[in-house]
Amino acid sequence: MDAHLSSLGYCSRSEAKKFLSKNLVCVDGVRVFDVRQKAYNNEITVDGERLDDECLVILMNKPSGVVCSHDDAGVLIYSLLPPRWQRRNPKISTVGRLDADTTGAILLTDDGALNHKLTSPKSEISKVYEVTLAEPLRGDEAEIFASGNLMLNGEKKPLKSAKMQIINPTLVRLEISEGRYHQVKRMFGAVKNRVVALHRVRFGEYGVEGLEPSEYRVINL
């Protein structure tokens, strides 16, 4: 019991005995005080609430100015999560990263195998961005992005085909299936434009419609 509660961030192992005395921890409805009690996750409740899932997958609408890192300076994305989730072991980590000034859909999970699967280039997960540009479109960008021939500086392979929908001359919706470093910004740099705002609308089938900046929800994958 003490190891399990600790791994989910409810308390440290050394605090488990005090936690059981201060909180109504039950196994199948029967209160327990012994930290050595064995039970499955779905049998345990704390103050009438079932335990958090053993593996969490979270969809967040990332706000601007927040950093996707455990170590860098600034406001870290994990600080937006409940303190209990911040203490989980293994740690919750972002699935890939968004730049500090990029907003929108990002997944976070403590399932390392799932994180690896979702970030693998083989996954080819669709990511949809709303891109605000410094200059009006010149007219050939959609064709260039869709060609599968665009080569970015320093890359050895061309980008895969991407779909661009024009909303107005300085606002587009771009769908890509890769996750190269600063890819969207570099794509528009390659066609002599500059991204001034970037918002990821959707990661795979998960979008942030209805989520305010900093809001999140647990999802099932």
Catalytic-residue membership of 101? no
User: How does the average pLDDT of the chain come out, rounded?
Assistant: 96
Check 2, 28, 52, 99 and give the catalytic one. 99
Per-residue model confidence as pLDDT tens digits over 169-179: 999 999 999 99
Q: What is the 3-state secondary structure (H, E, C) of 139-192?
A: CCHHHHHHCCCCCCCCCCCCCCCCEEEEEECCEEEEEECCCCCCHHHHHHHHCC
pLDDT of residue 221: 78
The pLDDT of 91-95, averaged and rounded, is 98
Pick the CATH number of 57-120+208-218 from 3.30.70.260, 3.40.50.300, 3.30.70.580, 3.40.190.10: 3.30.70.580
pLDDT band of 73, cuts 50, 70, 90: confident
Pick the CATH number of 126-203 from 1.10.3430.10, 3.30.70.1560, 3.40.80.10, 3.40.50.1860: 3.30.70.1560
- Whole-structure pTM value: 0.92
Per-residue model confidence as pLDDT tens digits over 40-59: 999 999 999 999 999 999 99
72, pLDDT greater than 90? no
